[in-house]
A and B are shown apart, each in its own frame.
Chain A
């Protein structure tokens, strides 16, 4: 129990502290409107009169009660019998304060009323500000020597220190950790973590401790400790009460970093190496030089077969066909390989292969969210247009810098060029339904990591711990994106943007403010200091040239475009036709049921043709079930006709309304000259109202009919046994009530809609509904400026990061292995000169990616063997092949595995682009894998098992080896079906007689692995086919797998020998060398 009490006490104590803090805080804000409590006139004006009236009578130099003399600062600081009367800078802990607030004895002023709250607040503020007696204090009469000394220290050393060093991060704009050092008020106010100085007490001041490296964070940030004399001056200044004059500004000069990646690439000269014969191009020279330095010897070149398969899979993601392989083997010309490389780079398959790589880096994801409700929560509908843009751009060898600019700001660069605007799918991908901050967070952080290789995300909550990136840098970077949003424009041929459309970025709010979130907390924005767009300060202060741009009407009002009108009109006409067709069908149905009634009457005249009334007259109990059905049918049919008629009328009214709205729109947006804008708008409004009323009437009728139906037939006849069963379980009538309630609700809604339409007809002015949404007429140019800065030769990171990504995907390992982090917490480059040379070459080539591919795959480095003797000196020196003394063998990526399966079996479709295909169709539809839906929620299982990219973040793929992969190749419908299909293809070449088994084996090896079998392999395989044939001949007793589905479309061959060949091909698709790039 005792413990329980302690806890309660403890928490009360905390509450008390909080309350006190809150009160003090409020007091502080009150005082803030008054003169500066640190100012020279504060003491004489506010404090001295109180002291004179209430204190000096006892506490003066002559008759100082308890030895306390309050007439000078010296006396105040020296204090009395109980110690100093005040702790400068800390009212709360000052005896004087405690006495006047009656927090502790003796309560002061003794024998008088308590001081007023205002007096107390002022004294508190004065103590907090250092308890300075004015220099010209009439009471003190003497100058405070300490203070004067402090002023000297300030101007001689503190001010220069602050201006040259501290204010870069602690200015009113930057305010790192919430701390601003530009004025005395601001210094005294401290930062997010509380006060930084205690005037009069340097040793207790955070500022001193940080600068003296006594406590974290050590200051200046990421720099050498200051000279001891500077630190001492700072301490003496604080001890002197921290006098301060005016408002300081940072002297020019950016935050400097010596880290390699933040310096521009130097453009190293190509080294001369001993083994000059080995050097085919500069890549080889750099690799060779590094090897030489490490004492490594390169292995020999790969054979032609291995090389061709390698470069095919590398550049187009598919293996060479047998014919292509043969042609290459037969081509003895010296440029045989170079010709092949050109052919592959020219192939549209190249864009698909490398497009997928860049989709990893740029974290492509199709939309996802709540599929049942078709609700997009992340990314955007039709974002596949961006994927197509990536593929096409690569195939066109669009320069990388231009690609970056188009993705970040394509809508600003050429607003009307929708081919380019597709690129802003890059931004649309970050869209997030529930939280704008998360959306921008991803935009900021992934733009920084994928293009610049900096981990800006660390600076969301605090200054970066390892790189000179400030928290304000993060938010200034965000400010580039602050105005932008994503919208959906119509595309020709489809007025419904749910079905098709173009998601694009646009600047929605030019004036949107960006605030630093204190400690990254979005609920705590630093609203006093809005931030303008800017690049991280360590990059200096480049001229960003942010220029707003006017947009054409087609862009700010996309519904004015001709095709939109055309499509909408066509749809209205189609709606009329459909309504008319429905009416005709309803009439036909009614005629049929009337015929049936007439027939029933003829055979047994008990019903009149107009049914109901006669039956009612006859009494309900006499109505048989058959009769009821007929009568219900009649009523339904009549209702249907009535409704269909209304719908036709409504649909017919829609067309003129639409035409009138279009005319009014055209007048308004100036594509119709000399038009009477107001008159056309009025007409549009009138016609729209008419159409709306007619539609409301139809809706109303429908609702009424449904309600009548619900009342007449509360328990509709169960459709099938299952429903009946369910119904028998739920007999409490709750569902009926719910249904009735829902029906009533619906009719009420219909009624109110009708009423609204009727009201609108009577009511005063309203405007017609415009054809589409209108958007701002200008765009801010912020993203253009950012994109220009990123995609720029002056940027030290952009080209390096890009070439490193390309290198990784050719060589299996990056030069920098932390692709997303080139900062000081990332890995150092294994060959810095090579990286820099590649970066320079990339930029000099006009950022041509095809140039870089050509360079890399043409190098001798690329053409080395990937295997090596088990025992070699190289292995001892460089076991992980960091310095490339051989090629790295790799495993095919997920897409390459699936695509190659299909391709070799002649089934891969070559159609490019278009809407994403449902992920669960991956086993039946044979498009390339990159065209299938790929989101964090939904991915093709087959691809996922082969380490497909995480759509949230994938700078490099992992390369696992799991039993699941084995099962996906052995048991999937896809692999079984492709094996059977491919066996058929090989049979067509070699013939299907058992004599050709050897040829079949050789051909299959050649096709699937790009090599011929060894003798042992051939023997094994032939034996297998023979024995497997025997197995199928006697298949009668064999046990089949019990679970899973039969493949009706491509069943196994019935002929045992052919089936054995299929089985062999299936084994070959599972061969390790099939998924391996040697």
Chain B
């Protein structure tokens, strides 16, 4: 396999908590590693507070990790802090934000939002700007393009705004798009259109997409691979049908059982113990809530287990069943 498009290795980020004089730091991401291939959609699922959005901000370089590496096509991007390197990275990695009501500047037209990246990255000559803007709008299904180009964000519906946000990300012809819950703020009948649009991009242009979501059902349909994040740790990763079809980690099983699907949804009990405060810093972070935890879970960090090719689980119980892998191997 060639070098992955985007590769994160051991990304760590913690934030200071407490008042002005506090030195206490709370880890939000604890060594997250993953890779993204061209034309692939990787879904990152997890509950609020699991570190999904922090990871998205690190990957979009809106924030710096405390430790870890980030490689784009094999090149370490964190090592070079120059403005040119940063611009170069932004020309290749783009982001679509969660809230289309906040991610477009209310004082600028749709055309302005699309022109800026084109000008900033010198993607088209000045004369071709208008044509390119219109073709971008058409590519995200906003037709007639002339009509939408001169609109202001407040004149568009949520779904239309999110399409503009996708068009802005596409303007620089990126290789990677980080989509942070792109459909969670949209009405259900418009969600599918945006998801289809993202899927089309990977097929037609070979763009790799990191799809951050809390909705397992959309992840199942959109993603090739799924990473399950819990308290800043990837607890399970693998092909979508594998992770959701034969979940190994107790947390993945819990998430699946909570999806409102089917008649008996409310009858089946949740495989979980009641939450007790913040996840512990030693041992397995899920141990206090895990229905099948053992004493070792709260003292030893769980090892990486590979029950099948390209399937990673971090759980002591899996370790006793299967083959423990070398800790450096990741998804």
**Do A and B originate from a single complex?**
no
